[in-house]
Structure 1
Amino acid sequence: MMHVSERQLDQVVQIGHLAQECVAERDFARIMTRELMYLLRSCSGVFIEFDPSSRAIDLMSGTSYQVDHSNMKKYLEYYQFQDPALARFKHTSSPNQATSVSTDQVIRSDASYQECEYYQDFLAPTRVHSAVIFDVSIDGNQFGLVGMHRTKRMGHYSDSDHKLIQLVIPYLSIALRFRYSRRQQQKREDVVKNLLRARGIRGYLMLDQNFLLQDVVGDYESAGLVAKDAGPTHMLGCPVFNLLADSVRAALLRIQSGRGTKNSLVFDASGDTHGSHRIEVVRHADGTRHYVLVALYDNHYLFSE
């Protein structure tokens, strides 16, 4: 009979909290693998993050824990194609399923299994006897794959272990989706920064006509766009006019009243172009406008229009 103790439920919740706390950490996969090993009483594990839009699971992107890297290389190059647990997982796991809990498979030891090449030549030397594999998905989009291992003395993964996995997957799903979105956003920012750098632009703040912050890209602080110690980066959708430098606020008001030019060049307090910036106005067909506060590199020279 399947039974999950109160202590195990507490462990699941703690893993959920930890996943939220360290979601942006470089070692997220290693931290989660360690916690899952403790929850599922495992001797080793593998945690793989991948692009949900990818056509195939990229096992090469995995992070292993307590697993010999030379054995991982052998597995990726040859033995994964003989792994009955992975084969059954791929066969029964549908990429279009609408649930966040995917199929998990257990290797049930029997005489024929222990006599096969995969067990004799690969598993036996590593002391791994049984394994469980599950994927981490949201609405059919697969964000990760996890494998846990046990020695023969540790026994097989039970129905209770399956239940624990089903309970912890939603926490992992949310965390991995956030990490994926963050990677995509970082790639977008990298592309934009490269394009801006070619034009001598450090970054920019984009405001709507009501001075609500719409977008932030690159480095805007060193150009004197905002007041000292003001950091509007996390204020998307919020009014930020009062956080801007005095000179920028004055220029915006001139432009808004029609007394400013399309592009306004503003110098720093010393009167040179160090930390210079400009304000560009983007007018839309519906009559609305956006103000783009552009931070420029020190050696970029602009002439106001």
Structure 2
Amino acid sequence: MDGNLNFRHLYYFWVVAKEGGITRAAKRLNLAVQTISTQLAQLEESVGKALFTQQGRRLVLTEPGRLALAYADQIFMLGEQMQEALGEADSARTRLTVGISDSLPKLTAYKLLEATTKLDRQVRLVCYEDQFEALLGDLALHKLDVVLTDRAVDSGTALRVFSHQLFESETIVVGAPVLATLYAGAFPANLNGAPFLLPTRNNALRGKIDEWFDSHAVRPDIVGEFEDNALLNTFGRRGLGLFFAPAALAADIEEQFGARLVGRVPQVREQFYAISNERKIQHPAVEAILSAAHETVLGAA
């Protein structure tokens, strides 16, 4: 294996893999098909591995090719982000790349990000949604500036990332008007047999909810479990079950989902975090998010 990797060859490999073939890659790069083929062959010779194999008329990645593509993705996606960031460096706009955990209520994410729209310097938001662990990996690779989530990073993690608590809120049980009226009464005994939409068991909130049900001898009818909070809220809006929500967002939840209060659950509290690569936040837009969470009604819930 040649120790001197030619990044131009690697870039051609990346484009071929993304485009699904040499002809399409050559068209995108405005190069001859023979040029791409030759440089792919040189890359394979350099790394000492076949990166593609021919299956009929298609090129298919080999196992070493899939591994190389994973690294090339990181290299060239970061390169594209760098070019965008440099292009904006002299403009009046700040770029903020945010990872949003799929378990985070979207209203919470909006309320937190809303603070960035009030800065003197205009912010260009780039938001990605994914699972918690995937977002932490992207943060560690500096693909993201911050991750907004409902859990802190495990203290035993090998990743050099830091959790900053934004706010804590007690929860409430809410439901569509007809359902909320049907299960009005002495709370929480009125919840026995009530249809509920709950987070899946890998969600930080679910264990607290289950413990609360057990401690109050409540036996709900769990009609749905959701990893995606937005989907859970959509089913809740349609009246298919009661659901838990942050008390700090009660007014917004009623306005957006038409969900009415059934009862307050102060024992079940949600925590929300910003996770960054720095112990001390330096990005002005992330500073604005932390300040807003600490100083507004969110922090008082």
Work out whether the TM-score is over 0.5. Answer: no
Higher gyration radius (CA)? 1
Q: Indicate the structure whose relative CO is greater, using CA pairs within 8 Å and at least 6 residues apart.
A: 2
- Greater strand share, 1 or 2? 2
TM score, norm. by length of structure 2:
0.25
